[in-house]
Amino acid sequence: MKNLNLKRFFALLGMTWMSLLPLNKAYATSVSLRVSPPSITIQTKAPNTIKTPLSIENRTEQPMEFEILLKPFRAKDSQGNVSYLENFDKKPDPDILKKVTILEDDEPTNKILLGPFQKKTLTFSLHIPTEQTESDYYFSILFISNPEPSTFEKKETITKAQVIIASHILLSIQNISSSPKGTIEEFSGPFFSQKGPIPFTLRVRNTGSHAILPQGIITIKNMFSQTVGAIGIKQSPILIDSEKLLVTEGDLTKLSWQNGFLLGPYTARLTLALSKHGPTFTRSVQFVVLPLKETGEIVGIFILILFVIKRIKKHQ
């Protein structure tokens, strides 16, 4: 009986305040340079020769010259940032980068010149010999600008800021197929909120020997066990021996849910697979949304109505 009264209470509040919907704003930012794709994931066996296109575009009115460098990196933190390394000295093949070639018109190059608003397509080429041992190698193709000094009439020379843009390569050589391994370190959210969006924290650790690419969804059910929303989790690689905070599709910074006016208890159920073939994990958290200000106003209105009715009956 108490549960029924509670459901009626939340349902009444919902109908009363359904018109209070938040507005969202979107903002755009300008980009002067673009490299595509921003990352390349390669899973292969030895031997193999891999070639894939890589484009760089100059969206400015000035010509730009770039030096092309290959730089190893590792995961720095759970935000997806990386730390660059001097070499692969702790890997089975410290000289793996010598097997990489950047081609322009089928010719090896370590520089590229782009005119104003020009786009060029290069070729990333990697040769993996038969004797190559399995391991993961993470490195960036760095395009580093070499701006020329600008000299003014007063003979003052000012050097333009150096521009660096990168495409990240995630190379996984797997001669023997193995299942991805990982753990959900944290799936949580606030138990009580006054309004949306409802933020969640999803932190996943890779405990295997190769990078993983988790995919998943969070479904939201209300107090009537009805599915009222879903959050698509953006696929993002997690490097070996690291963890990452996963975010919402289309958002680079957070994992959250917003579905108009929210009221009452909800359950968020996570279904996460470490790859398209599994393994799959599930977790659930409960949370309650109760807009105290609006609820207080409703209670105040009910009290006022009851007071007025009582006064009218008293004078009849």
pLDDT value for 281: 97
Identify the weakest region by mean pLDDT among 222-226, 268-272, 273-277, 289-293. 289-293
| Same structural domain, 166 and 193 | no
Residue 130 has pLDDT above 90, yes or no: yes
**In whole numbers, what is the pLDDT of the chain averaged over residues?**
83
Q: Is residue 14 part of a domain?
A: no
Q: Is residue 105 part of a domain?
A: yes
Residue 81 has pLDDT above 70, yes or no: yes
Q: Is residue 21 part of a domain?
A: no
Phi, psi for residue 75 in degrees, rounded to 5: -65, 135
- Measuring CA to CA, which residue among 138, 124, 122, 129 is closest to residue 50? 124
| Same structural domain, 200 and 66 | no
- Measuring CA to CA, which residue among 102, 106, 118, 96 is closest to residue 172? 96
pLDDT value for 177: 78
| Same structural domain, 117 and 242 | no
Provide the residue range defining the domain that includes 129: 33-173
| Same structural domain, 165 and 39 | yes
The four Cα atoms 164, 166, 68, 126 give a dihedral, to 10 degrees, of 170
Give the residue from 173, 196, 229 where a domain finishes.
173
| Same structural domain, 169 and 211 | no
| Same structural domain, 255 and 314 | yes
pTM of the predicted model, to two decimals? 0.76
Give the residue from 111, 146, 173 where a domain finishes.
173
Q: Is residue 8 part of a domain?
A: no
| Same structural domain, 130 and 40 | yes
| Same structural domain, 119 and 101 | yes
Give the residue from 173, 189, 221 where a domain finishes.
173
- Measuring CA to CA, which residue among 279, 289, 294, 297 is closest to residue 182? 279
Structural domain count of the chain: 2
Q: How confident is the model at residue 16 (pLDDT cuts 50, 70, 90)?
A: very low
pLDDT value for 291: 85
Q: What is the CATH number of the domain that holds 149?
A: 2.60.40.10
| Same structural domain, 109 and 191 | no
Please give the Cα distance from 272 to 231 (Å, whole number).
12
Please give the Cα distance from 230 to 110 (Å, whole number).
46
pLDDT value for 12: 42
pLDDT value for 3: 54
**Over the stretch 190-242, which tens digit does the pLDDT of each residue have?**
999 988 899 999 999 999 999 999 999 999 999 999 999 999 999 999 999 99
| Same structural domain, 204 and 109 | no
Q: Is residue 290 part of a domain?
A: yes
**Torsion 67-91-172-209 (CA) sign:** negative
| CB neighbour class for 122 (10 Å; exposed up to 12, middle 13-18, buried from 19) | buried
Q: Is residue 70 part of a domain?
A: yes
Q: What angle do CA 143, 145, 151 make, to 5 degrees?
A: 180
- Measuring CA to CA, which residue among 269, 241, 255, 251 is closest to residue 183? 241
| Same structural domain, 189 and 261 | yes
**Torsion 103-211-33-119 (CA) sign:** positive
Residue 20 has pLDDT above 60, yes or no: no
The single residue listed with the structure tokens 């989790």 is: 233
> Distance from CA of residue 134 to its chain's centroid?
28
| Same structural domain, 241 and 167 | no
pLDDT value for 307: 63
Q: Is residue 16 part of a domain?
A: no
Q: How confident is the model at residue 28 (pLDDT cuts 50, 70, 90)?
A: very low
Q: Is residue 309 part of a domain?
A: yes
Please give the Cα distance from 266 to 289 (Å, whole number).
8
Reading the block at residue 233, the tokens are 């989790």
pLDDT value for 217: 96
